[in-house]
């Protein structure tokens, strides 16, 4: 686990004239689960979106597997091997589960094998293939969003608050799924407000405050840090 897969260097990002990210440095090694925690509005989603090229970085670099992807259009970034599960899932409500999954597939020759793999991972989706996305429960929609991202056979999965708004049992399942996906060799960059769960899962973690990386360390070290416990773990 010592080859850098994602390397974000001195990244700035803006909405119009408002700068949100300030000199952000983050890396994800091959095989790691890296978590980013931080308060609402800190800039976590903006970081994932900037990695995907929308909005474009205004300064700094993003390297993926050694390639400079900073200026690439989003579809080329996805083709390079990054899949993004945005906050709020954004599945296609009026398409079936099967149609949603087909939208995530980049190479038709892999469609069948990928479908079999995601149905293996999410038997609930297999049972509901013909059901419209919008009729699924929140947890099932989150599973569908993750499954759709996996259809592109990514090397790196960017997950934006996958546990948000889900019942405790479903939260537990989602975190188990993330761990399982990672064991299959997919690196994970996970944004979470559920810091307790997320830090337990993470090999390493970063804390973002007002668009800057404030702290980093192993998941365990951060979960034992008194400042982190007070601010994010409610201890």
Q: Which residues bind ligand ADP (CB under 6 A)?
A: 15, 18, 20, 38, 40-46
Per-residue mark of binding to Mg ion, 10-49 (x: CB under 5 A):
----------------------------------xx----
Shortest spacing between CB 87 and Mg ion, in angstroms: 5
**Residue 15: which of ligand ADP, Mg ion, none does it interact with, CB under 5 to 8 A by kind?**
ligand ADP
Backbone phi and psi for residue 194, each to the nearest 5 degrees, phi listed first? -80, 75
Question: Toward Mg ion, which CB reaches closer, 39 or 106?
Answer: 39
Binding to Mg ion, residues 122-161 (CB under 5 A):
none
How many residues interact with Mg ion (rule CB under 5 A)? 3
Shortest spacing between CB 17 and ligand ADP, in angstroms: 10
Per-residue mark of binding to Mg ion, 60-99 (x: CB under 5 A):
---------------------------x------------
Shortest spacing between CB 183 and ligand ADP, in angstroms: 27
Count Cβ atoms below 10 Å from residue 169 Cβ, excluding itself: 9
Question: Toward Mg ion, which CB reaches closer, 49 or 199?
Answer: 49
Tell me if 105 sits within 8 A of 142, measured CB to CB: no
Question: Toward Mg ion, which CB reaches closer, 41 or 107?
Answer: 41
Query: What does the longest C-alpha to C-alpha distance in the chain come to?
Result: 51
Backbone phi and psi for residue 112, each to the nearest 5 degrees, phi listed first? -65, -45
Tell me if 186 sits within 8 A of 166, measured CB to CB: no
Shortest spacing between CB 213 and Mg ion, in angstroms: 16
Tell me if 187 sits within 8 A of 181, measured CB to CB: no
Question: Toward ligand ADP, which CB reaches closer, 28 or 207?
Answer: 207
**Residue 3: which of ligand ADP, Mg ion, none does it interact with, CB under 5 to 8 A by kind?**
none
Shortest spacing between CB 90 and Mg ion, in angstroms: 13
Binding-site ranges for Mg ion (CB under 5 A): 44-45, 87
């Amino acid at each position: 686990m010592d080859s850098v897969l994602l390397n974000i260097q001195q990244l700035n990002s803006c909405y119009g004239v408002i700068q949100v990210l300030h000199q952000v440095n983050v890396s994800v090694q091959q095989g790691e689960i890296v978590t980013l925690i931080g308060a609402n509005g800190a800039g976590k989603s903006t970081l994932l979106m900037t990695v995907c090229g929308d909005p474009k970085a205004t300064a700094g670099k993003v390297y993926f597997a050694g390639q400079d992807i900073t200026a690439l259009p989003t579809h080329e970034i996805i083709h390079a091997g990054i899949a993004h599960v945005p906050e709020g899932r954004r599945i296609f409500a009026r398409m079936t589960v099967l149609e949603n999954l087909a939208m995530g597939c980049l190479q038709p020759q892999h469609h069948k094998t990928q479908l079999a793999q995601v149905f293996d991972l999410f038997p609930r989706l297999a049972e509901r293939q013909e059901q419209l996305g919008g009729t699924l429960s929140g947890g099932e929609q989150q599973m569908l969003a993750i499954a759709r991202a996996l259809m592109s056979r990514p090397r790196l999965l960017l997950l934006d608050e996958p546990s948000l708004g889900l019942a405790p049992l479903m939260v537990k399942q989602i975190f188990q799924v993330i761990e399982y996906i990672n064991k299959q060799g997919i690196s994970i960059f996970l944004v979470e407000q559920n810091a307790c769960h997320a830090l337990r899962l993470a090999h390493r973690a970063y804390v973002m405050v007002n668009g800057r990386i404030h702290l980093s360390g192993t998941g365990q070290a951060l979960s034992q840090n008194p400042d982190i416990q007070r601010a994010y773990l409610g201890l």
